[in-house]
């Protein structure tokens, strides 16, 4: 198997990278460990989701093993998906740009690190990513960094409960604005308009952008992309000059095969990218590939999260829209980022127990049960908090040789903890969220337990110094000139905002760089059909 560019992983970063390169006439082969989840069977996935199962589990499950450790273990189950589309099969679709200050945490606040690029360097690519994914939004966030292009789709209307939150925020002087998302508020780009059915982790209409619908079919339609499914990359091989010349991969039969290419891109997600580099070590490179800095797998980050909920005496009509439509990023930029992390407030359109949970907990039957569910359902409101997490060397992805996957490779082990900085942010956020819920007039206000977003970042950070980072500003490994690493692993800091729009913008930028390297004389614009 040969191509000009070999990509490992067909998720957000890999799918975008494949389309960007293939539409410039570059031949691409993508190895995807998971299956192709056929869109015509989406109804089955929705039913599984409605039974509270993870619709995206794959077989054999030993392909997806991992182990956890540390004071607050970070589990991957339900926090990533395997298959063509990767975790965008499962994601909620919230698509936010970072703020300019997120790229300069060290310079402005003296904590974390600065990124080697600025918001301005990424601004044009953010616009491309928004058009590509079809982001619905309106520029009503007072703290947002300047944008040069409009959102491609109008924002979703605020919900009934948003109206309650908006009034409370106004009395408290808290910014309240739309939550931009890669979900079709109108039919867009050949995909349907959202029907607000609310099973977004398995969208039956295709209204939510996922790269199995938005990028991969187009990349394949160029004739320049081949996607090999059920193909897990086991290690990368180096030639004598120190460049990667092949990815060794295997399918269900466990027979090892080779993909040869001029340039390789790892797009397996922050955990699997680090793991594959560590698995690709040799006698000459005992610490793993591209790891002269010793930082591969270090500085793992996510977004610690908490919900604060409260009960209304009147009905507040939750669960009518499955996704959130409003947020506040006032605290994602302002305030003390020296001793406490920034945080984002998401105003939930679905909070409190669902009718079946109320029924199961009631112990009643017949008419009494029906009356109880009628009385109890629809009285809860909630605010979700996502906190910024500082890069901390102790939070690490490493190999666990005691646990092996389907192919006999050591499982990834995630050591994870939440420090004082993040806990201070969550405490402050709980106070603010509680104040808003009081102003709405709710009672029984309480926080839920600590949780974590399905966002994985930081295991092969960007930087200009090869001693303190793994990839440069174009996402090329400092140590291996034809190897690029894309995805959240490149993030230097986490910010309080979801990562995928930034992952997409960085992938588009890196693809431009790779294309200019492979076809130095060609124009760098891809031949793409315009989005409708």
Ligand X SMILES: Cc1cc2nc3c(=O)[nH]c(=O)nc-3n(C[C@H](O)[C@H](O)[C@H](O)COP(=O)(O)OP(=O)(O)OC[C@H]3O[C@@H](n4cnc5c(N)ncnc54)[C@H](O)[C@@H]3O)c2cc1C
Task: Summarize as ranges the residues that interact with ligand X (CB under 6 A).
Answer: 8-14, 31-34, 79-80, 82-83, 86-88, 90-94, 201, 232-233, 267-269, 272, 276, 454-455, 487-488, 498-500, 503
Looking at the Cβ atoms of 134 and 458, the one nearer to ligand SF4 is 134
Cα separation values, 441 from 168, 266, 316, 448, Å: 9, 50, 12, 19
Looking at the Cβ atoms of 14 and 410, the one nearer to ligand X is 14
Verify binding: residue 471, ligand SF4, rule CB under 6 A.
no
Residue 212: which of ligand SF4, ligand X, none does it interact with, CB under 5 to 8 A by kind?
none
Q: Could you tell me the two tokens for 486? A: 């894309």
Verify binding: residue 194, ligand SF4, rule CB under 6 A.
yes
CA 347 – CA 326 distance, rounded (Å) = 6
User: What is the total count of residues that contact ligand SF4 (CB under 6 A)?
Assistant: 14
Give 387's strand partners: 343
Which residue shows structure tokens 């709710």?
442
Contact 372, 364 (CB under 8 A): yes
Residue 200: which of ligand X, ligand SF4, none does it interact with, CB under 5 to 8 A by kind?
ligand SF4
CA 236 – CA 280 distance, rounded (Å) = 5
Verify binding: residue 196, ligand SF4, rule CB under 6 A.
yes
Using CB under 6 A as the criterion, what x/- string covers residues 165-184 for binding ligand SF4? ------------------x-
Cα separation values, 490 from 356, 378, 462, Å: 42, 42, 5
Verify binding: residue 527, ligand SF4, rule CB under 6 A.
no
Residue 67: CB partners within 8 Å, gap ≥ 6?
A: 400, 403, 411, 412, 413, 414
Minimum CB separation from ligand X for residue 78, in Å? 6
- Judged by CB under 6 A, the stretch of 28-36, 200-208, 450-458, 513-521 that binds ligand SF4 is 200-208
- Judged by CB under 6 A, the stretch of 196-204, 231-239, 386-394, 491-499 that binds ligand SF4 is 196-204
Query: What Rg value do the Cα atoms of the chain yield, rounded?
Result: 23
**Cβ neighbours, 10 Å, residue 100:** 17
Looking at the Cβ atoms of 13 and 445, the one nearer to ligand X is 13
Looking at the Cβ atoms of 132 and 433, the one nearer to ligand SF4 is 132
Question: Any idea how long the chain is?
Answer: 532
Minimum CB separation from ligand SF4 for residue 218, in Å? 20
- Judged by CB under 6 A, the stretch of 145-153, 189-197, 368-376, 386-394 that binds ligand SF4 is 189-197
Question: Binding residue for ligand SF4 (CB under 6 A) from 200, 231, 236, 265?
Answer: 200
Cα separation values, 118 from 121, 349, 453, 511, Å: 5, 34, 25, 18
Verify binding: residue 205, ligand SF4, rule CB under 6 A.
yes
Minimum CB separation from ligand SF4 for residue 151, in Å? 16
Minimum CB separation from ligand X for residue 63, in Å? 9
Over the range 11-36, which residues count as b (16 or more CB within 10 Å of their CB) and which as e? bbbbbbbbbbbbbbbbbbbbbbbbee
Please give the full DSSP string across 84-127, using - where no structure is assigned: TTGGGGT---B--PPPGGGGBHHHHHSSS-B-SS-HHHHHHHHH
Distance of CA 428 to the CA centre of its chain: 25
- CB-based burial label for 366 (10 Å; 0-12, 13-18, 19+): exposed
Distance of CA 367 to the CA centre of its chain: 45
Using CB under 6 A as the criterion, what x/- string covers residues 298-327 for binding ligand SF4? ------------------------xx----
Verify binding: residue 203, ligand SF4, rule CB under 6 A.
yes
Verify binding: residue 198, ligand SF4, rule CB under 6 A.
yes
Minimum CB separation from ligand X for residue 274, in Å? 10
Residue 11: which of ligand X, ligand SF4, none does it interact with, CB under 5 to 8 A by kind?
ligand X
Looking at the Cβ atoms of 98 and 203, the one nearer to ligand SF4 is 203
Q: Could you tell me the two tokens for 336? A: 């003390």
Minimum CB separation from ligand SF4 for residue 435, in Å? 30
- The site for ligand SF4 (CB under 6 A) is made up of 183, 194-200, 203, 205, 207-208, 322-323
């Amino acid at each position: 198997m040969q191509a000009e560019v070999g990509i490992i992983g067909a998720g957000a970063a890999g799918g975008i990278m494949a389309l960007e390169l293939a539409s410039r006439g570059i031949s691409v082969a993508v190895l995807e460990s998971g299956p192709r989840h056929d869109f015509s069977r989406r109804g089955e996935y929705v039913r599984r989701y409605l039974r509270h199962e993870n619709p995206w589990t794959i077989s054999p499950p030993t392909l997806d093993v991992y182990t956890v450790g540390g004071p607050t273990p970070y589990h991957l189950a339900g926090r990533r998906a395997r298959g063509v589309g990767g975790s965008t099969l499962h994601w909620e679709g919230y698509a936010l740009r970072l703020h300019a200050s997120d790229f300069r945490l060290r310079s402005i606040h003296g904590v974390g690190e600065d990124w080697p690029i600025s918001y301005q360097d990424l601004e044009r690519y953010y616009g491309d990513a928004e058009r590509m994914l079809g982001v619905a939004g309106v520029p009503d966030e007072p703290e947002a960094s300047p944008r040069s292009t409009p959102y491609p789709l109008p924002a979703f209307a605020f919900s009934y409960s948003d109206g309650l939150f908006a009034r409370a925020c106004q009395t408290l002087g808290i910014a309240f604005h739309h939550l931009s998302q890669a979900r079709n508020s109108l039919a867009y780009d050949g995909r349907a308009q959202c029907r607000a059915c609310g099973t977004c982790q398995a969208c039956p209409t295709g209204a939510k952008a996922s790269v199995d619908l938005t990028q991969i079919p187009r990349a394949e339609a160029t004739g320049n992309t081949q996607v090999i499914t059920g193909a897990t990359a086991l290690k990368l091989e180096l030639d004598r000059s120190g460049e990667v010349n092949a990815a060794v991969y295997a399918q269900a039969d466990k027979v090892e095969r080779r993909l040869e290419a001029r340039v390789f891109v790892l797009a397996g997600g922050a955990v699997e990218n680090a793991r594959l580099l560590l698995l690709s070590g040799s006698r000459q490179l005992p610490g793993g590939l591209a790891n002269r800095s010793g930082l591969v797998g270090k500085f793992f980050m996510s977004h610690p999260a908490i919900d604060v909920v409260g009960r209304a005496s009147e009905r507040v009509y939750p669960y009518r829209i499955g996704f959130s439509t409003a947020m506040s990023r006032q605290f994602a930029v302002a305030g003390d980022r020296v001793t406490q992390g920034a945080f984002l407030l998401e105003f939930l359109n679905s909070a409190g127990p669902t009718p079946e949970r109320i029924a199961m907990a009631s112990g009643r039957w017949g008419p009494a049960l029906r009356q109880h569910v009628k009385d109890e359902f629809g009285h809860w409101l909630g605010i979700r908090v996502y906190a910024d997490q500082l890069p901390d060397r102790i939070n690490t992805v490493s190999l666990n040789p005691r646990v092996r996957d389907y192919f006999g490779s050591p499982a990834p082990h995630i050591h994870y903890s939440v420090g004082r900085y993040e806990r201070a942010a969550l405490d402050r956020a709980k106070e603010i969220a509680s104040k808003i819920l009081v102003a709405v007039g709710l009672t029984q206000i309480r926080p839920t337990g600590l949780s974590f977003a399905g966002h994985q970042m930081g295991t092969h950070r960007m930087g200009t110094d090869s001693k303190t980072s793994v990839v440069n500003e174009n996402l090329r490994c400092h140590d291996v000139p034809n190897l690029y690493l894309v995805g959240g692993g490149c993030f230097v800091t986490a910010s309080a905002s979801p990562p995928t729009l930034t992952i997409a913008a960085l992938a588009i930028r890196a693809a431009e760089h790779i294309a200019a390297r492979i076809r130095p004389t060609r124009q760098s614009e891809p031949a793409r059909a315009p989005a409708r």
